[in-house]
Amino acid sequence: MSNKGSVSHMSQSIESIYERYHPLAAPAVPDAVVIRPAREADAPALHDLAELDSAAPLTGDVLVALVDGRPWAALSLDDGRVVADPFRPTAAAVELLRLRVEQLRAAQRRADRVRALGLRLRLRARRARA
């Protein structure tokens, strides 16, 4: 009996495991979406995005959804309007933008409550000293 077949099979198994678990062998994440605040440098791209969507450009604070470094969608924090590339599947990116807005607003509400509580405690402390 020859070991030649089992060695070949073992070699293929090792290669398969290497490809699945080695960090450098892992494929890049396809269509990763980055959500971030728009910057001044994004203004031309956001203007183009609004034109593609046949919409007025967004104003004020804006969140942008980028895929492969390109803006696919953007959401105004001031009025909630959205512009998105009509030639791309942007529904998930828009949903992520809306989710991020909810997260930011919830964090702001918590911060406001903490500030209000701190103010009330300071007032009580002053009254107690007076």
Looking at residue 84, its amino acid is A
Q: Strands of 70-76's sheet, edge to edge?
A: 33-37, 62-67, 70-76, 82-84
Class of domain 28-129: alpha beta
CA dist., res. 72 & res. 87, Å (int): 9
Contacts by residues 52-59 (CB-CB < 8 Å, ≥ 24 positions apart)? 52/83, 52/85, 52/86, 52/87, 53/83, 53/84, 53/85, 53/86, 55/81, 55/83, 57/83, 58/83
- If one compares 31 and 73, the residue with the highest pLDDT of the two is 73
CA dist., res. 114 & res. 80, Å (int): 26
pLDDT of residue 30: 57
Q: What are the pLDDT digits (tens) for 60-100?
A: 999 999 998 899 999 999 999 999 999 999 999 999 999 99
Domain boundaries, the chain: 28-129
Nearest CA among 37, 34, 87, 78 for reference residue 56: 78
Stretch 1-25: mean pLDDT: 55
Q: What are the pLDDT digits (tens) for 94-119?
A: 999 999 999 998 988 888 888 888 87
